[in-house]
Amino acid sequence: MHDIDLHRTQANGILRLKDNKPVKVIAVTGGKGGVGKTTVSTNLALSIAARGREVMLVDADFGLANVDVVLGLHTRFHLGHVLSGDCTLEDAIVTGPRGLQVVPAASGIMRMANLTPAENAGLIRAFSDLYHRIDVMVIDTAAGLHESVVTFTRAAHHVLVVVCDEPASITDAYALIKVLSKDHGVQRFQILASQTRRAGEGLQLFNKISRVCDRFLNVTLEFAGSVPFDDYLRRAVQQQTAVVEAFPSSLSADAFKNLAIKADKWSVPEGVRGHLEFFVERLVGARSGPSAVLQ
């Protein structure tokens, strides 16, 4: 009970934020690694920013963070420094292409993947003190079902599950959806097919997952689209840049732009309070248990 009260006390700091505009929060996740989750997060965030939105990209893949590497950014601080008190979250933010605000995590520091309750509370407090103007927050979560994945997906308005047409990816994506829905109250998911090689493959993959979920789970799935297998995407990764910046006319760049158009239309629930208040209160609920989550 003490931890719950502590989290809620920290969340009260949100009330002093300057900007009262609700922030749309999108968590990008996947059942397994290697499906292109971080590539999706970075290119989606940049594509939304290209549409004139103020976007923040949060690297929440603690322990295996690489958003800054993918974008070729040089960082001085990361979330590990924030939690240790060496800097504020504002200090850790770096600016990427198109004004994208990036919150880097601590690459290769496995302790970040196993934060204590006090450290998670510190993370919540850091976001509650954030003053940046933001329209959209994109969160790149870890693969699998680490506690941080549950925390951030439950705190988001929209959960984007990246999956490719491989048995392990499909099985792990279903397991992720099952756990998040049955144990943590997440009921709506956007499904993005990654590395597709032919027309219609993405929709077929979505229908395959949807049939199983309709049979065994009480969830709503929506097809977010497909990102094709594209050599330009591989080249962009090698060059430490986003494909939407390096090769804007490529097939994969077009796919990310179309995804951004869809994401731009995803709603923020009515009655959501201003700026990051919704997000931080959801973080509090995700850390405190199902009864504390604001649905």
User: Tokens representing 155?
Assistant: 């705190």
Domain ranges of the chain: 2-11+27-286
Q: Is it the case that residue 239 has pLDDT exceeding 80?
A: yes
Q: What angle do CA 204, 208, 210 make, to 5 degrees?
A: 110
pLDDT of residue 275: 56
Q: Residue 138, SS3?
A: strand
Would you say 41 and 57 are in contact if contact means Cβ atoms under 8 Å apart? yes
Higher per-residue confidence, 118 vs 172: 172
Select from 266, 245, 265, 252 the least CA-distant residue to 202: 252
CATH number among 3.40.50.300, 3.40.1160.10, 3.40.50.620, 1.20.120.530, domain 2-11+27-286 = 3.40.50.300
Look up the pTM and report it: 0.85
E strand segments, 47-150? 55-60, 94-95, 101-103, 136-141
Q: Which of 107-116, 240-249, 260-269 has the lowest mean pLDDT?
A: 107-116
Q: Is it the case that residue 110 has pLDDT exceeding 60?
A: no
Cα(44)–Cα(255) distance, integer angstroms: 9
Would you say 163 and 200 are in contact if contact means Cβ atoms under 8 Å apart? no
pLDDT of residue 164: 93
Q: What angle do CA 116, 122, 123 make, to 5 degrees?
A: 90
Q: Is it the case that residue 114 has pLDDT exceeding 60?
A: yes
